[in-house]
Structures are given as structure tokens and as C-alpha cells.
């Protein structure tokens, strides 16, 4: 790591000789594998942008030239080159290095959201601000993956960037043919054609007279093409891409050829106005286990053996696997069930359905908004679409859920993976907003399964509902131990625990009673808390509503029969199940005291799920302490 150890700022990088750069690239790849193997993280994407990141920091002057990484999971090399290599032992750990760009970490990081397709809009706004400030010397650079360009927000931004002919915006299209999985759609096919059929060959075959008709104009362009063919000059050949936008295009450039990368970026740096640079890279480049991972090219890994790439711990079957299995079964029984993914068939569990029913599976790209309205169209056509996305990405499609699905009372089922606190991926990946968001959609039904059995039950119930949208939400990780219902009320609420104080101690019949409403997988912690607080002479009832929105009427009746109601959920406190239950009790003029155990209204720093829960009083001991405190205030010690 001799050369890498000498790099603490981009200025150090610029001082290197050309012959040192190849060595540095290999050192960075070795460093990435070693560090990510120890902590987990996004390995494949970062192995693919080593040369590109080196070129960016040699040509541009960060942070004066802002470099914005779309999604920013591919910013590890950027972090290394801007002085954070020594922090990688803490990658994605509590109080450690974020797995995404982070404004608190470095002046070189301009954004920190991990949602895709937003970088170009940031770049458009930043370039406008620079222009208004009289800065015409610097550029704004946006690095977007080809998968991000399947999102509509990118095209809205490009439309505005192209209009700013006097604003220096450099759009780097990192074309590796993949997001999580192979990129789909018309644009991806266009890039593939460019990638597979180098444009200089086509032009040389067609001849100079056809340049204008192909969008390539000028004698200098033809001379540059000829020089490239002879191996005399740079590989950078400017042309036009998307004549409707009128943006200059450079590429395709071999994203692993340091000289070609630097030449292309120098041209873009000196160009006056917006420009697109098309870089062709390989995800997982240089690490055999990643290159052989045909499904995801080690897009994201857990802790693993750096030599073999094998995980060091074997995960038990989780929520996603159960959903995948059950939806595939449902698909075999009902031909009207359609599955939709937003570029994440594997991570959301739809790959199995796609393999069994390819004609009823649609990957719409990183376009959650389109996914919801396309699903609405399928529902209008008599189908029952199931849209599987991460909970955090539902935020992007709320308008479509509210106005395109909900307003028309369409039977669309939305399955939200990674709901609640997810942890190490940080603030924008936590799925804590879905209950608050969905609760304001009139007529929607939201289910929160507590275990494998209820997940299978609720999914079947959801696809059987034909008069409005349904949502199934479940967390990340392994399945909890199944919790059997002691009784099921007429509206589907499960009684899962009842402890009579008389059975626990010599308490009189007048012992206070507490109703605990457990949302989803919080059932297990609710039952443990119930055992603890019952020991102090309290009657405790624990229920799982299963369908948490709208509030079941049996919960209102139960609340009226108890002295305290406590809701335990893993969503934000405002607008969640606790808030809805309180509203329902107010409407029924029931004044039973109620308290909420929920996620505070704040962005959560990255840490493990258990650490985040403990930090915000959502773990077992803290929940017990909270309920004991409430009971002391209400009933006396």
C-alpha cells in the first residue's frame, strides 16, 4: 500500500506520475476487498469505479468543483482519495464511516441521501447557484449509474441541464450494464449498442459525408476519428447525443483505461456548457469472487472471507424468502396476479416468481413512481399487481399511491421489505415512514405480519381484496419464533398474550390492567415486556391487530376495558398506529390513557439495528422502563 499511504488529499493524487497510477488502482482494489470483507458494504460498485474516481480527482478540483455521486454507494474510492482511508475499519459501524457520502464527514461530500436518480437534479440546482454567484470557472460533476437513468427524475433534470448552455455540468454515465441486476429498458439497449459497436468503426465505414446525418459534425471530428483509428491521438471524440436535448456527448470511454478516462474528463472539464461522458466499466472489476457472482456481482456483501468471498456466517431464512415462496405459490393459483419490481427482483424476492411466470413479471427500472401507476393500469385491466419494493422507496411513489391507485380504489398490493429500522445503511434507508404515509390514504388497508405464518396468511388475504389498495410490511433480517394466537376476534385481531395478576402474585382483583398493541414483529418484545410488568401485579393483555390500518374496532373495545393502552411499533411516532388508535379512541369518546413506543421524529444515524433501537429506547429493557414509569405516574408505585 506504498502509494496509497501517500494519498491524503486530491492534491497528493495530482502529483503522482502516470506510471504510479496503475499501481495505485490495484492497491485501492486490494484495500477495498480487505476492508469491506471485515465490515460488509457495497463492494462490486466500488471495484468498478476505481479508475473513474482517480480520474475525477486528478482532473477536477474538489470541493470547488462539486462531485455528486448518485445513490453514492459507489463513493468508497472517493472517500479514500479525500483522506478517509484510515476510517474504513469503522465502515457502516456506529459512530463510524458512512456507507454513503456524508456532509458531516468531509467538505468533499455534497449530499448524503442513498436514493437513486437524484444527482442530476442536485447538479442542476448547484450549477444555477454557482452561476448566480458569478462563478463561471468551476464545474459541477454528477456521476450516475446507467441504472439510475431508468428513473424519470434523471430525465426531468437532463431537460433542465441541457437548457443551461452557459452552465458547466458534467454528467458521467457509469455504464456497467447493471443496477442490482442487468439494467432494463430502451435507454439500456441504446447504451448497449454503443458499447458493443464502437462508434468510430461505424463512422469510418460510413465515411465523412454521413457525419452530419449521424449527429457528428465538423472536419475536426472526422480527423479525430481517423487519428484514433491510427492510434495517434486521444480516444476522446466529441459528438451529439440526444439531439432533442442538444447535449454534447463523449464516449464510449474504457472506464478502466486511466489515460482514456483522464483524457475524456479533461475534455469535459474544458468544455463550456453541459456535457455527457459515457464511461463503460465492469462491476466487481479485479476481484474474482465478484466477477463470478452472476446475479449481483457482489453489489452488497456482509462480512466475508476476503480470499474466497464466502460469507463468514450463514443467514437463516428471512422474511423476503418466505414472501418469495408464498407469492410464487399464489401465482400458480391465480393467473391474474402480476409481480412488479423497480430494478430489484433479487433483493425483494421476486426472482423466483419471474422464473416461474416470466410473462407476468415486469421490471420497470429504478422508477417507483412509474411502478405504482403502471400497476394501477394493470388493475384497471382486471389484474392484481403486487409491487415489491423497499419501504424507504415507497416515499418516492406516495403521490402515485394516493392519486393513481387510492383515488380509483384499485386492487394493488404493495409489499414493503426492510420496513422499520434497518440500521447500518443509514438515515435514508430506514423504513420508518411507511405507516405514517400510508395511513393518510383513504380506504387503504395495511398489514404487519409478526412471523412466517401470518406473513403467508396476510399476503393471501391481500391479493383477495378487490376494492382498494393493500400494503404488507415486514422488516429486514431473520424470522422470529412463531407466536400462536390464543384467540382471534371477528375483525382479525389476534389475542397473543394474557397474564392475570392473580396468577403472578397475591394481588387483589382491583389490579390495574394494561393493553399492549404490538405491531408486526414487535410482538415478540411485547410478550417479553408483558411477563416483566405482570410480575409487579398488573393484568396484561397483548394483541396483534395483523391489519393495523384502519384501526380494527375490537381494539377500541379492548381499550375501553383497560386502564392503560400502550402501542409498540417500529415506525415514526407521528401518524403511526399509536396515533391512529388515539384518534379512534377520541372519536369514540374513550378516555383510557394511551402511550406510544415508536421511532422518534428524526433521521437516524447509521448503526446496527439493535444499536439504533437501544439508542432510542426501543429495546426490551427501555420499553419495560417506559411502561413502568407510565404505570407509576398513573397508578402509583
368 included as an active-site residue: yes
Report whether 367 contacts 358 (CB < 8 A).
no
Residue 288, classed as helix, strand or coil, is helix
Which one of the listed residues 92, 283, 418, 476 is annotated catalytic? 283
Cis amide leading into 252 (omega within 30)? yes
Q: Are 372 and 412 in contact (CB under 8 A)?
A: yes
d(C-alpha 386, C-alpha 406), whole Å? 15
Give the relative orientation of helices 152-163 and 119-132 as an angle to the nearest 10 degrees. 20
- Do the strands 247-254 and 539-544 form a parallel or antiparallel pair, or are they unpaired? unpaired
Report the 3 state secondary structure along 164-223: CCCCCEEEEEEECCECCCECCCHHHHHHHHHHHCCHHHHHHHHCHHHCHHHCCCCHHHHH
From 167, 352, 383, 396, active-site residue: 396
Cis omega (within 30 of 0) for bond into 550: yes
Under 8 Å between Cβ of 300 and 41: yes
Residue tagged 422488516 (cell numbers): 475
- The reply to whether 176 sits in an annotated binding site is yes
- 396 assigned to active site: yes
How far is 456 from 492, CA to CA, in rounded Å? 15
Q: Is 114 annotated as a binding residue?
A: yes
The conformation of residue 87, written as its DSSP 8-state character, comes to G
Asked whether residue 146 is marked as a ligand-binding residue, the answer is yes
- Determine how β-strand 140-145 pairs with β-strand 470-475: unpaired
The span from the CA of 446 to the CA of 433, in Å, is 13
Q: Is 287 assigned to a binding site?
A: yes
Q: Is the dihedral of CA 518, 522, 526, 529 positive or negative?
A: negative
**Cα separation of 73 and 474, whole Å?**
24
To the query of whether residue 506 is one of the catalytic residues in this protein, the response is no
Q: Which secondary-structure segment (H or E) carries 495?
A: strand 494-499
Residue 632: burial class (beta carbons within 10 Å; 0-12, 13-18, 19+): exposed
Check whether 115 is labelled as a binding-site residue.
yes
Distance CA 149, CA 155 (A): 7
Sign of CA dihedral 255, 197, 211, 159: negative
Q: Determine how many CB atoms are found less than 10 A away from the CB of residue 74.
A: 26
368 is in an annotated binding site: yes
Are 75 and 25 contacting, i.e. CB atoms less than 8 angstroms apart?
no
- The residue among 567, 375, 597, 349 whose CA lies nearest residue 470 is 375
DSSP-derived 3-state class of residue 584:
helix
**Whole-angstrom distance, CA of residue 1 vs CA of residue 28:** 8
Q: Is 607 annotated as a binding residue?
A: no
- How is residue 496 written as a grid cell? 397473543
Report the distance separating Cα 320 and Cα 348, nearest Å: 6
Q: Please give the Cα distance from 617 to 598 (Å, whole number).
A: 9
What's the rounded Cα separation, in Å, for the pair 56 and 281?
15
CB 262 within 8 A of CB 234: no
Burial class (CB in 10 A: 0-12, 13-18, 19+), 298: buried
DSSP letter assigned to residue 522? G
Catalytic residue among 296, 368, 461, 611: 368
Q: Is 397 annotated as a binding residue?
A: no
Catalytic residues: 283, 368, 396
Known binding positions: 73, 114-116, 146-148, 176, 287, 368
Known binding positions for thiamine diphosphate: 73, 114-116, 147-148, 176, 287, 368
Known binding positions for Mg(2+): 146, 176
Amino acid at each position: 500500500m506504498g502509494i496509497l499511504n501517500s494519498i491524503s488529499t486530491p492534491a497528493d493524487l495530482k502529483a503522482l506520475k502516470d506510471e504510479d497510477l496503475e499501481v495505485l488502482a490495484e492497491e485501492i482494489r486490494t484495500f477495498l476487498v480487505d476492508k469491506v470483507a471485515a465490515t460488509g458494504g457495497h463492494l462490486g460498485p466500488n471495484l468498478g469505479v476505481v479508475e473513474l474516481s482517480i480520474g475525477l480527482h486528478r482532473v477536477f478540483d474538489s470541493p470547488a468543483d462539486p462531485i455528486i455521486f448518485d445513490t453514492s454507494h459507489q463513493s468508497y474510492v472517493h472517500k479514500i482519495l479525500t483522506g478517509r482511508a484510515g476510517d474504513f475499519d469503522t465502515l457502516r459501524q456506529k459512530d463510524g464511516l458512512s456507507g454513503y457520502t456524508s456532509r458531516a464527514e468531509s467538505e468533499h461530500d455534497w449530499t448524503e441521501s442513498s436514493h437513486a436518480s437524484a444527482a442530476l437534479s442536485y447538479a442542476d440546482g448547484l450549477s444555477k447557484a454557482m452561476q448566480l454567484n458569478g462563478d463561471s470557472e468551476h464545474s459541477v460533476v454528477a456521476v450516475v449509474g446507467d441504472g439510475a437513468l431508468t428513473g424519470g427524475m434523471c430525465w426531468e433534470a437532463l431537460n433542465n441541464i441541457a437548457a443551461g448552455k452557459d452552465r458547466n455540468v458534467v454528467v458521467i454515465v457509469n455504464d456497467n450494464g447493471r443496477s442490482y441486476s442487468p439494467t432494463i429498458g430502451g435507454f439500456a439497449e441504446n447504451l448497449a449498442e454503443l458499447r458493443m459497436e464502437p462508434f468510430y468503426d461505424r463512422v469510418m465505414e460510413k465515411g465523412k459525408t454521413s457525419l452530419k446525418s449521424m449527429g457528428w459534425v465538423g472536419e475536426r471530428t472526422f480527423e479525430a476519428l481517423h487519428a484514433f483509428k491510427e492510434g495517434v491521438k486521444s480516444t476522446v471524440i466529441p459528438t451529439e447525443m440526444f439531439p432533442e436535448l442538444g447535449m454534447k456527448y463523449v464516449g464510449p470511454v474504457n472506464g478502466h483505461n486511466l489515460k482514456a478516462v483522464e483524457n475524456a474528463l479533461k475534455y469535459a472539464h474544458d468544455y463550456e456548457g453541459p456535457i455527457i461522458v459515457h464511461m463503460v466499466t465492469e462491476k466487481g472489476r479485479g476481484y474474482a469472487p465478484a466477477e463470478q457472482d452472476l446475479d449481483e456481482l457482489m453489489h452488497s456483501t456482509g462480512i466475508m472471507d476476503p480470499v474466497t468471498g464466502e460469507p463468514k456466517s450463514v443467514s437463516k431464512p428471512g422474511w423476503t424468502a418466505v414472501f418469495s415462496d408464498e407469492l410464487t405459490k399464489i401465482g400458480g393459483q391465480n393467473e391474474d396476479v402480476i409481480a412488479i419490481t423497480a430494478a430489484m427482483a433479487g433483493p425483494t424476492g421476486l426472482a423466483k416468481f419471474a422464473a416461474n411466470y416470466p410473462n407476468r413479471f415486469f421490471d420497470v427500472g429504478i422508477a417507483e413512481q412509474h411502478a405504482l401507476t403502471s400497476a394501477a393500469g394493470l388493475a384497471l385491466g382486471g389484474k392484481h399487481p403486487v409491487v415489491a419494493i423497499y419501504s424507504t422507496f415507497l416515499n418516492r411513489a406516495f403521490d402515485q399511491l394516493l392519486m393513481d391507485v387510492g383515488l380509483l380504489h384499485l386492487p394493488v398490493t404493495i409489499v414493503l421489505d426492510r420496513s422499520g429500522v434497518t440500521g447500518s445503511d443509514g438515515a435514508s434507508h430506514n423504513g420508518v415512514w411507511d405507516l405514517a404515509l400510508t395511513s393518510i390514504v383513504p380506504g387503504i388497508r395495511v398489514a404487519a405480519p409478526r412471523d412466517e405464518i401470518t406473513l403467508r396468511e396476510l399476503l393471501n388475504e391481500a391479493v383477495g381484496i378487490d376494492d382498494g389498495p393493500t400494503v404488507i410490511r415486514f422488516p429486514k433480517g431473520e424470522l422470529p419464533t412463531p407466536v400462536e394466537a390464543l384467540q382471534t376476534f371477528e375483525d382479525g385481531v389476534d389475542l397473543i398474550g394474557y397474564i392475570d395478576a392473580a396468577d403472578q402474585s397475591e394481588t387483589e382483583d382491583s389490579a390495574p390492567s394494561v393493553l399492549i398493541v404490538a405491531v408486526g414483529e414487535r410482538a415478540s418484545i411485547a410478550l417479553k415486556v408483558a411477563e416483566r410488568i405482570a410480575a409487579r401485579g398488573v393484568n396484561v393483555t397483548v394483541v396483534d391487530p395483523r391489519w393495523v390500518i384502519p384501526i380494527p374496532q375490537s381494539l377500541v373495545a379492548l381499550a375501553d376495558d383497560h386502564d392503560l393502552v400502550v402501542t409498540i411499533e417500529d415506525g415514526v411516532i407521528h401518524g403511526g398506529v399509536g396515533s391512529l388508535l388515539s384518534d379512534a379512541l377520541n372519536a369514540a369518546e374513550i378516555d383510557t390513557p394511551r402511550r406510544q413506543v415508536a421511532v422518534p421524529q428524526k433521521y437516524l444515524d447509521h448503526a446496527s439495528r439493535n444499536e439504533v433501537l437501544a439508542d432510542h429506547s426501543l429495546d426490551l429493557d427501555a420499553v419495560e422502563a417506559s411502561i413502568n414509569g407510565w404505570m407509576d405516574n398513573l397508578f402509583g408505585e
